Each structure stands twice: as structure tokens, then as C-alpha cells.
Structure 1
Amino acid sequence: MADRTRLAVIGGGWAGLAAAVEACQAGAEVTLFEMASAPGGRARTVSAGAHALDNGQHILIGAYSASLSLLRTLGVDPAMALLRLPLQLRYPEQAGLQLRAGHPVPSFALAVLRHAGWPWRARLSLLRHCTAWALRRFECPEALSVAELCMGLADEVRADLVWPLCVAALNTPAERASARVFLRVLRDALFSGPGSADLLLPRLGLSDLLAHPAAAWLSGHGARLRMSQRVEALHASDAGAWLVDGERFDAVVLACSSVEAARLTQDLAPGWSGLARALRFEPIVTVYLESPGSALPSPMLALREGPADPAQFAFDLGQLDPRRSGQFSLVVSGAAAWTARGLDACAAACLQQAQRQLRWASTPRLLRVLAEKRATFACSPGLARPGSAIAPGLYAAGDYVDGPYPATLEGAVRAGMAAARQALPRSASR
């Protein structure tokens, strides 16, 4: 045991869990610190009275290879734990864009051509733009916003497709969202092979999907999990080692929030800490409703957002898990304007929106409203994100770390795995 690399992972969200699993597989002696009483971070199940509700409605896509690989490592079968659907943006009043199973490039082109809700000029314009983006290898200037990137598209296409895809992927309104990051997500969804654009909707609560299996796997592989323990101080020690609240480790992965990481590194690496501290955030509000006997036309629907209509998506939770029949969630992404009005006002507006835009067998009632005020960083054009390397033996992991993805579960998992590999020597077990 004395010859094994001692690694501290600070933070038990998806990035920290991914880092800890990667390090254990490499033979390291891992200790994971998490300030909350349970792992999972911003993708976990929370207690809400008589109901266990997720603290947000997360979606994966078929291109998220790292997340799917991690689930398999933990013994979670993605085919059982996730409902796989070809990409669709169905609205209550129209079928919307619906891809068929198979390779996403021809399926996307066919879906655009078959979209009866768009005039031919709009359909052909979208295909021309997508072809031009592909010929440029989905690259564009750093300073370009998604709204600027799509100025030439028809209003119908922007309203029905681009705006909801942008806010779903980047949690940032199109006028403030990075076109470069948006194009990277689009590229991976369309060009990562058959099924890469598929929607993967969790059938399980988020804690059962990853957090609990990861904690059990780590405990079974000798890792020490220290829940309800906030790290107060991080110091460099002798011979490149690190002291975490006075305890010596050979290397450290900071997988906590950017705010916590900035606090712990403000004296060690002021430049890195400053970049982390400068990040701005976008909230997400999830409104849970109950309506016995009701069902949506599909597990996920896009909704018409407007000045009095906050939500962009609705989910029929009973179609994901029959035990939750009659439960629904409405998601408000990029929700800063609504959180400023207060959660009660946001919930009331979502309830009224649901009654206007959806059909119900019984009058829906509010079950719970949950908000993540720092759900994601604001993915704006030209954003300077902190890198993973902070100092020798000290690395950052999180969905905010510099990389190709916005603040997604896949971005967190990839960052965690990469940080663990950087923190360990080529062979952690000597």
C-alpha cells in the first residue's frame, strides 16, 4: 500500500466520481471528499416530502461515449437505465423534427425535408447552412454567438429547432451562447456514428443512475469516501506532495465547484483561481406537476417559450418509470430572468403554461419546484475557461474546465477521467 500513489479527489459530483473510478482502475489509493451528505453533485436525487425527485432533468445523447462507458464500468446497463429515442423535437401541436433510427446525417436531412411545419425555403436553407458548417468542419470564430451564426435561417427554423437545441445543450440563450461550442455539440451528435444523436432519458433517479453505483463500486475497490466533509485548506508539501486539511497526498484532483476550487487555490495559483472565479452562471428551474390519469404524447415535448411561458421542455415521468405515472416535469433553462422574479412566480407561470399548452385528464397541481442557481456556467462567446493543470500534482476536473463541451454530464465525466490520468504516473502501482 505504501508504494501506491495516494490521490485525493475533492468533490463527489459526476466529475469527481469519474476521476476516482479512473484512478482506482489505475491502481491508485483514492480518498474522495464531498461536502454534501451524499454524492452526485448537481445531478442527484433529493428528498422532497413524500417524493424522491431529481434536482434537475438531465438528458444524455448517444454520442456521450465516456458517460456510457462509465455506467458500464459501474455495472449499470445503459439499455436498461436509459430510454433511447431517435432525436425529436415534438411540440404539443405538431410533430416537429423527428429523426429515424440509423446514421444521423441522412436521417437528419430526411427529417428536415419531411418537416411539414416548415415551408420549402426554410427546409432548404437549413440544409444549406448545415452543409456549409460541415464543410468548415464545424469551426467558426470564437466571438460568434449562436444567434449570429444562424442569422440567415428562417424564423421558423430558429424558433422550432435552433433556440430550443441551444438552450438545452448550453443552458444559455442563443444571443449570449457560444456558436463554437454549439457547433461542436452538433458535430459530435451528427458525425459520431449511428445512434450518436439519439436522446437518452434516465429511467432511474439520477442517484440510482450513477452516484449510488459509483459509491458502491469505489468502496468495493478500496477507496475511502468521506461524506459531509468540506475541505478547508490545501497546501503544497515537500517533494511535490499536497496537504489536504493537513493529510498528505501525492496528488490532488479538484472536482468541486468552480467557486470552491477558486477558494482553495487563491493563494496557490492566483491566475487560475481568478479565471475560475470570473465564471458566470445560468440557473435551471425544474417544476414538478402531478395529474393522475394524464399522459403526454411522448416522453419529452418541446414547449413554446414566451414572456409569460418560462418552460422550454416537458417530460412525462410515468413513461420513463411506470411507478411515477401521473408525474411530470417542466424545465426552465437559462432561467435567470425567472429566478429573479422568485420561484413561486416561476412555478405559477409554468403551471399556467402547462394548462394552456398541454392536455390533461385531471387538473394538474404543483408538486415541487427545484432550482439550481449555479446549474451551469454561462457558455458565452470567447469565454476563457480555466485549464485542468493548476500546479504539479494538482489538477482540476469539472464541467467548467476548458474543453470542447458545454456544462454537460459528458463534459464532467471526461474532465474527471482526464484529470485522474494527468494526476497519476504512467503506472500508479509500482
Structure 2
Amino acid sequence: MKRVAVIGGGWAGLAAAVEAVSLGATVTLFEMAPTLGGRARSLEGIEPVLDNGQHILIGAYTETLALMRRVGGDPDADLLRMPLRLRYPDRETLRLPPGPPTLAFLRGVLGCTAWSRRDRLRFLVTSSLWTMRGFRCDPALTVAELCAGLPRAVRDDLIDPLCVAALNTPAEQASAQVFLRVLKDALFSGPGSADLLLPRRGLSALLPTPTSAWLQSRGAEIRPRRVQRLEAAGRQWAIDGDAFDALIVACSSVEASRLTRDLAPHWSAAAGAFEFQPIVTIYLESAGSALPAPMVALRESSTAPAQFAFDLGQLGQQAGLFSLVVSGAAPWVARGLDITGAAALAQAQQHFHWATPPRIVRVLSEKRATFACTPNLRRPDPLVVPGIWAAGDYLAGPYPATLEGAVRSGLAAARSAMRQPLGGMSD
């Protein structure tokens, strides 16, 4: 049996390990953090259960949902599925009804009474042009440049919040080409593809914990330590002296760059060249309170950082627990987490009714939550050198840094590793 090592226990590494085991490999998974899940996990030893950030899945995440089922999960029970709906505290904006994607989009836009009739028609004309062009544009364009001709209400209510939610990069800096691909897959790839899937359980319970049990029940080994060195060992590769037939480097781009610096300097340089965007999550507690919906959009400003608020009680988690999400949060991280938390709390107090005064439970910052998804970004290929593949949401591809991108990358890396003949590292 082929011995495969997977370095990194985030969602890309977990997907790679499951696929390699399924294809007949003996798998060893290395993870330097105390828990699996990478940037989408629950925090250990915290009551109530808090995640390291609020994540939203969508119906188009077909591979992620399939992987959950594969390891014994039940996404139908663990995720609240609801049609795409951007509801603000003061009004409804776009809401997509069920049905065939193109018809649902048309009905949703035409039925958005928050926009004038003229604005709705202008948006439909522009989106029709995007469709006719195959959702492709000049790769040098930003989202702000692409959408400059759209009405201000459409940009404020829809484009800017979707851009920062999907790409974690402000519209003035974000890649228009990647944004169009997200719109294509989410809005037009099939019925339910744009549905929002909100976690009803902690992130670790969604995938990392059941995957760990699934792997170990099938003979895979999980080693909780940081890999120090990769090197050639005859026609194999060695991790700190332990030989394997194939390696899958599924850790962060920074860690992958460190590990491959001597083996593949050009690939390492590309992996180490990313700029990052942070995400800040503010957890609030208010007994007896509830938001108007499980997820409510907010308008950010220089004094109001959060773009979305979540009522975790309505999601089947702890009643009276709420999260506020600040994506593309670099300016706020620079101001400090205490200031960010206080500003988000004031924002929530202004826009929602509270049965009891809300208080901050915790402010979490994932400083390297995603790469900055900017135009013409150079992203490394999955093949590092023969016998070593990378897996991660930062690799070359049409998607931003998402859970679905990570899972797809992990599956692809495992299939490539298993296709290579034994002893073929130098071919």
C-alpha cells in the first residue's frame, strides 16, 4: 500500500486524508495545532462553545457537503438552509425565491422593493451582460471598477456586502474576475446553489471531529506535532526522517513556503508572497434577546465595523448568544481589538432591540483568515515537485479562500498523489 503523509489538519488536509484512505493509501496526518480544523474550528475549553470565526456555507458547496456525509455527518440537520436573503435591521433588500436559478434571480431582483424600478432594471441589464460574457472580465479590474455603473443602492445593499463576505477583501481592492466566478456558481449553477447554510453546531462538530474518528477507524494515524523538515530519501520523501511515497502539504501558505524553501524555491516564493486579510468575530451575550432573523446584514462605516450579525440561539446553539463579523478587517485590527469590540457593541446596540444589556463575551481575530483576493494575483500550482502536492484554498484556481476551495483542493491533491506510480518522484 502506498504511504501518504498529509501535513496539515485543516479542511483541505482532512479532505486529502479521507480521499487518500478511500483510494487505498496508508495515511499519516500531521497537525501542529492541538485541534483539527485549521481556520474553521471550535475553540477548546471554552463554554459556551465558540468557533474561531463565523462561517457561512452556501448550496453550491457540493464537495464540502458530500465530504460531511462521507464521514458520517448530516448536513441537512447540522446546517440551517435558507434562501439567499439580505435583510438589514431597517429593511429587506434582495431575497431569492426557490426555483430554477435564472428565474429565481429575475424574480428576486424585480421583487426587491427597496430599490427603485430604474435601479432594478439597470442591475438586470448589467448582470445579463456578465452572463453573455461568460462571467469573465479584464483580470486587472477590481469589483468597484466592474460595478461602477451600477446604482448606488445596489452596490451598497448587495455588491459590497457579498464581495467582502465571499472574498474577505473590500470591493475597491478585490478581484472582479474572482467575484464574477463566485456569482456564477452561487446564483446560476443550479437550484439551491445560492442558499445560505448556517451552522447549527460548532465548526469542529461539522467536519473535523467526525473526520478524525473516520480516519482513525480506518487505520490512519494522526500525529500532533509540527513538521520540521522535508527531504528526499531515495525515491521517496522523508518527513523528519520518516519515509513516505507521496506528500501532501496542506498547511497554511506560510508554513508550506517554509517547508518547501530548499526543495522548490520558486514555488516556495510564490506561496510566501501573499498578503492577508483578517476577520474579527465579536461574541455578545444578552439573555432573553433575539435578532429579527438568524442572520442580519449591517452597514459598515468608519465607526461601525460589522457587516453581519448572527443569532446563535436561533441556529440551535446557545440562546442569547450572538456573533458580529468584521470581514476585510485590517483597518480595525490596526486600531486594536478592544476598540473594534466596543465599536461593534455600540453598532449592535444602535440597530437591535435588546431585552437585557448586551455584553461582550469574547473578541477573536484570525489575522491570516484569507489571502487578499486582489486582481492579477499570482497563486502557486498544486504540484510542488514530483511526489509532493499542495492542498489549500490559496492555490491557483478560480475561487477565493473558501471552505469549498479548500476541500476541492484536498480531494484533487489526494487523487494526484494516488495516480503517481510508486517510486515515481523523480519522473
- Using structure 1 for the length normalisation, give the TM-score: 0.97
**CA distance, structure 2, for counterparts of residue 289 and residue 174 of structure 1:** 28
1:22-171 equivalent positions in 2, closer than 5 A = 22-47=19-44, 49-171=46-168
Q: Which residue of 2 aligns with 1:370?
A: 364
CA contact (8 A) 1:13 1:41 kept: yes
Map of 2:285 onto structure 1? 290
Indicate conservation of the 8 Å contact 2:48/2:318, yes or no: no
Matched, 1:415 2:412: no
Partner of 2:345 in structure 1? 351
Give, in whole Å, the separation in 1 of the partners of 2:246 and 2:138. Answer: 37
In structure 1, the partner of 2:326 is 332
In 2: Cα distance, 1:106 partner to 1:294 partner: 37
1:7 to 1, 4, 8: 4
Task: Report the counterpart of residue 425 of structure 2 in structure 1.
Answer: none
Q: 1:104–1:189: 8 Å Cα contact kept in structure 2?
A: no
User: What's the Cα RMSD here?
Assistant: 1.1
Q: Contact 1:22–1:421 (CA<8 Å) still a contact in 2? A: yes
Q: How does 1:389-408 map to 2 (within 5 A)?
A: 389-408=383-402
Give how far 1:373 is off: 0.1
Letter in structure 2 aligned against 1:205: G
Residue number among 185, 190, 194 corresponding to 1:197 in the alignment: 194
Residue 164 of structure 1, CA deviation: 0.1
Aligned to 2:248: 253
Q: Aligned partners of 1:117 and 1:48: how far apart in 2?
A: 44
Residues 187-235 of structure 1, C-alpha deviations (whole Å, 9 max, x = no match): 01122211011000111100000000000000011100012x0000001
Letter in 1 for 2:275: R
**Alpha-carbon distance in structure 2 between the residues aligned to 1:404 and 1:65:** 16
How far has the Cα of 1:50 moved from its partner? Answer: 3.0
Contact in 1 for aligned 2:387/2:420 (Cα 8 Å):
no
Note the C-alpha offset of 1:103.
2.1
Counterpart AA for 1:184: R
Describe the SS at the equivalent of 1:17.
Answer: helix
Q: 1:336-364, CA deviations, whole angstroms, 9 ceiling, x for partnerless residues?
A: 00000110010000000000111211111
The one-letter code of the counterpart of 2:392 is: G
Which of 255, 270, 274 is the matching residue for 1:275?
270
1:308 lines up with 2:303 in the alignment: yes
Aligned partner of residue 175 in structure 1, secondary structure: coil
What is the CA deviation profile of residues 369-416 of structure 1, one whole-angstrom value per residue up to 9, with x for unaligned ones? 111000000000000001100100100001101111100000000000
Aligned equivalents of 1:284 and 1:140: distance in 2? 28
Asked whether the 8 Å contact 2:169–2:327 carries over to 1, the reply is: yes
Say which SS state the counterpart of residue 40 (structure 2) adopts.
coil
TM-score by length of 2: 0.97
**In the comparison of the two structures, how many residue pairs are matched?**
422
Which portions of structure 1, spanning 4 or more consecutive aligned residues, are displaced by more than 2 angstroms?
47-51, 425-428
Q: Which moved more, 1:419-428 or 1:353-362?
A: 419-428
> What letter matches 1:250 in structure 2?
D
For residues 264 and 346 of structure 2, what CA distance do their matches in structure 1 show? 49
The Cα shift of 1:180 comes to 0.6
SS in 2 for 1:324: coil
Structure 2: which 5+ runs fail to align?
A: 423-427
Q: Are positions 1:425 and 2:419 aligned together? A: yes
Q: In structure 1, how many angstroms separate the alpha carbons of the residues matched to 2:138 and 2:218?
A: 45
Contact 1:387 1:402 in 2 (8 A): yes
- The 1:427/1:267 distance shift into structure 2, 3 A limit, reads closer
